[in-house]
Structure 1
Amino acid sequence: MASVVQRLARQARLTFTFPPRVGEEPGRFFLENLAELRRMMFEVQAADLRLVPVPQRAESCSVPVSYMHICETEQFSMGVFLLRPGASIPLHDHPDMHGLLRVLYGTVRLSCLDRPVPVQYAVRGPPLLRSVLRSSALYTEHSGPCVLHPDRDNLHRVEVVDGPSAFLDILAPPYDPDQGRDCHYYRVLGGPEPAVSGTEVWVTEVPQPEEFRCGGEQYQGPPVRL
C-alpha cells in the first residue's frame, strides 16, 4: 500500500499537470483536485514523514532554517522546512506559482500579501509596489493548509511563535530562475505591518536579508516515486 506522502505527491502531480494560466479563472477540474490535495495535506502528520520534533536537533543546527527535499517534477516540488526557535523566513514571493503550506509541529505566524503592483512615481530609489495584506494568523498542526495563489496571497512571511517548528511545503511549478520564477524578497514600508486583512500596504524589493540562511537536511521518510 502506498504511503501517505506517496499518495500526496501523486495528487499534487494530478492537480498541477494542467493548472490555470496566470490571470485565467480556474476550471472545475482544477478546483476539485486542489480541494482534494488540501484535504490530503491536512491529514499528513509529522510521523508520516518519520519526522520527530526533537528540540535538540533544531537547537544544535548552525542555520536558523533547514530544507528537507522530498521530490520534484516539472509540475511541483515538495519538501519540509525546519525552523529553530525564533527563526523566520522573510517576506518573499512565488512568481506565477501556487503554494500550499501545512504546519507539522510547533506554531508559526503566516502573513500573506497579494502579488505587488508597481506604481510609477517621480522619485529616486527602488520602485514602490502596492499590495494588500490578506491575512496574518497563527498556524499549528491542527490548522488546515495555507494556500497561496499566483496573484492572491502570493507573498508571505513565516515567523516561529512556539519553536522549533516544521512545515510541509508544496510549490507548483517549482522555482526556476531560467523560467522567470526566481525568489524575491520584500520589505513593508511605513512602519510595522498592519494586522487588519484587506489593508493596503506598500512594499519594496530588497536583497536577501543577511540574517536569513537556509541549510539542507536529509529526508528520512518513505520514498516517493513518480
Structure 2
Amino acid sequence: MEGCEKRVRHVSRIGYAKKVIGKRKCKSRRIKRVEVPPKVSVTLQDLFFSCRQVFKGPGTVPLPNDVLKICRILEKMKAEDVGLSSDLQFFKPNSIVPKGTPPRVTYTTIYKCIDFSLCLFFLPANGVIPLHNHPGMTVFSKLLLGTMHIKSYDWVDHHASAISKDDSSQSSSQLRLAKLKTDNVFTAPCNTSVLYPTTGGNIHAFTAITPCAVLDVLGPPYSTEDGRDCTYYKDYPHSSYSNGENKLEEGASYGWLEEIEMPENSQMDWIEYLGPQIYGDEKYLADRNYMYC
C-alpha cells in the first residue's frame, strides 16, 4: 500500500531499522533469521518512570523540583538512548534532500498515555516545524543531534493586545501581541528547553540547519477531544502594525501573531519506533531492583 511504502522509505532514509542476524547451518537448509531485541536504555527508563511521577494529568503543571528532575535526566540523554547515532547517513553533513523533494519532517512515538507522551522528530536540513502552540501543556525539548533555529513567543495578556488586520479579500483577521522569548540557533549537545502553558515560549517553531533529531516530552499530550488541539500562526514584526501600545517592556522584542490554517509544510510522516524499548514497572523493577526514594 502507498502509506506503507512511505513508512518503509522513510525508515530506510533515517536508518532507523531493526537489526537481523542470519545464520546458515548447512547449504541445504534455509537461513534462520532471528530478530535481536533493542537494548534497554537506563536513561530512557528513568525518564519514563520520572514522567509517571511528575505528570499528574490534564490541568496540572509540574512543580519546579519536578521540572528540574526531568531536565537532569534529559541532560544525560544521548542519541544512542533512543537508538540513534550521528553515524547514520540521515545525519551526515552531506545528507541532502533530492532536488524537488520538500524536506518533510518524520516523527515517531516512543510512549503515549493520557498524562504524557515521548516523541522523536527527525528534521532534514531546511526542514521546518511551523509556528504552533501547546495549549495547557508543559513541554520539554531535547536536541539530540544536529543544529537548528528555534523561535518562540508567549502571549501578552492585556486588553490592548489584539488588533484587526485588513486584507485584500475585504475581510479582517485578529492579530495578537506576543513577546519574543527565543530567537537563536542551537547545536547538540545543548540544554533542554522547557515551555509551560502560558510561559517559556509556548508558541514555537523549529527550522533545521543540519539534519536534526529532537526528543519531546509533552504533558499532557495533544488531544482534540480534550480541547488541546494544535493551532498554527504566522508572525509579523511589531513595527508592521500599531495599536497605540506604549507600555511594552523596555529591551524586550515583540511580534504580532495571526492564526492560520495548517501550513502545507506542517505535514509529517510517521514511522514505527524501533529503538530501545520501555519496560513496565514489574519487569524493570525485577531486572534492576530499581527503587525510588
Confirm or deny a common fold (TM above 0.5).
Answer: yes
Deviations 1:144-164 (A, max 9, x none): 111111001100000112x11
Map of 1:219 onto structure 2: 273
Q: 2:122 aligns with which of 82, 106, 109?
A: 82
CA 1:115–1:173 in structure 2 vs 1: closer, same or farther (change >3 Å)?
farther
* Other-structure match for 2:150: 110
CA contact (8 A) 2:165 2:173 kept: no
Q: Which range moves more in the overlay, 71-80 or 9-18?
A: 9-18
> Aligned ranges for residues 148-163 of structure 1 at < 5 Å?
148-152=195-199, 153-161=201-209, 163=210
Conserved 8 A contact 2:165-2:175: no
CA distance in 1, matches of 2:177, 2:52: 33
Partner of 1:188: 235
Alignment TM-score, normalising by the size of structure 2: 0.67
What is the TM-score with the length of structure 1 in the denominator? 0.85
- Shift of residue 142, structure 1, vs aligned partner: 1.9
Distance in 1 between residues matched to 2:165 and 2:126, nearest whole Å:
39
* Residues 136 and 197 (structure 1), Cα distance of their counterparts in 2 relative to 1, 3 Å cut: farther
Cα contact 1:134–1:197 (8 A) shared by 2: no
Identity of matched residues, % = 27
User: In the superposition, relative to structure 1, how do residues 35 and 67 fare at CA in structure 2: closer, same or farther (>3 Å)?
Assistant: same
What is the DSSP-based 3-state SS (H/G/I as helix, E as strand, rest coil) of the residue aligned with 2:179?
Answer: strand
Measured in 2, the distance between the counterparts of 1:18 and 1:104 equals 27
Contact 1:93 1:115 in 2 (8 A): no
Matches within 5 A, 1:1-226: 3-17=42-56, 21=60, 30-53=63-86, 54-56=88-90, 59=96, 64-115=104-155, 119=162, 121=164, 124-152=171-199, 153-161=201-209, 163-190=210-237, 198-226=252-280
225 and 108 in structure 1: CA distance in 2 versus 1, 3 angstrom threshold: same
Would you say the 8 A contact 1:113–1:132 is kept in 2? yes
Of 152-161 and 137-146, deviating more is 137-146
Q: Deviations over 1:24-74 (max 9, x none)?
A: xx7xxx211110100101110001111123234875697520001100111
What SS class does the counterpart of residue 17 from structure 1 fall into? coil
Question: Aligned partners of 1:38, 1:67: CA distance in 2, in Å?
Answer: 22
Structure 2 residue ranges without an equivalent (≥5): 1-39, 241-249, 281-293
Question: 2:129, 2:265 within 8 Å by CA — same for their partners in 1?
Answer: no
CA RMSD of aligned residues (A): 2.8
Instruction: Tell me, in whole angstroms, the C-alpha distance in 1 between the residues paired with 2:239 and 2:108.
Output: 31
Between 1:7-16 and 1:114-123, the stretch displaced more is: 114-123
Give deviations 1:90-146, integer Å, cap 9, x for gaps. 000000101010011101111110046562559642212111101112222221111
CA distance in 1, matches of 2:275, 2:239: 39
Higher strand share: 1
